């Protein structure tokens, strides 16, 4: 078994219009919200990697005095 329980119950407040739209698209709110959070987490991780790579690239392009090579 992993370090975390398989599922954890949380409580969030979501705009009523979003909930209505969600209900029109699926019968399983939990699955849809979990999928949305997974996607958001993946996007954030990708964005963080891109920012770190850009910073490393910028540092690599500068010599020790800070001037572009």
Across 18-36, b (16+ Cβ under 10 Å) vs e yields eeeeeeeeeeeeeeebeee
In the structure, what pLDDT confidence band is assigned to residue 63 with cuts at 50, 70 and 90?
low
pLDDT tens-digit series, residues 16-54: 999 999 999 999 999 999 999 999 999 999 999 999 988
d(CA 59, CA 21): 45
Q: What is the pLDDT of residue 44?
A: 97
d(CA 13, CA 19): 10
Model confidence, pTM: 0.69
The token duo for 39 is 């996607």
């Amino acid at each position: 078994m992993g370090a975390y329980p398989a599922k954890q119950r949380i409580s969030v407040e979501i705009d009523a219009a979003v909930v209505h739209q969600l209900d029109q698209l699926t019968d399983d709110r939990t699955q849809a919200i979990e999928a949305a959070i997974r996607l958001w987490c993946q996007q954030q991780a990708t964005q963080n990697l891109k920012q770190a790579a850009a910073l490393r690239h910028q540092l690599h392009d500068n010599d020790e005095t800070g001037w572009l090579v």
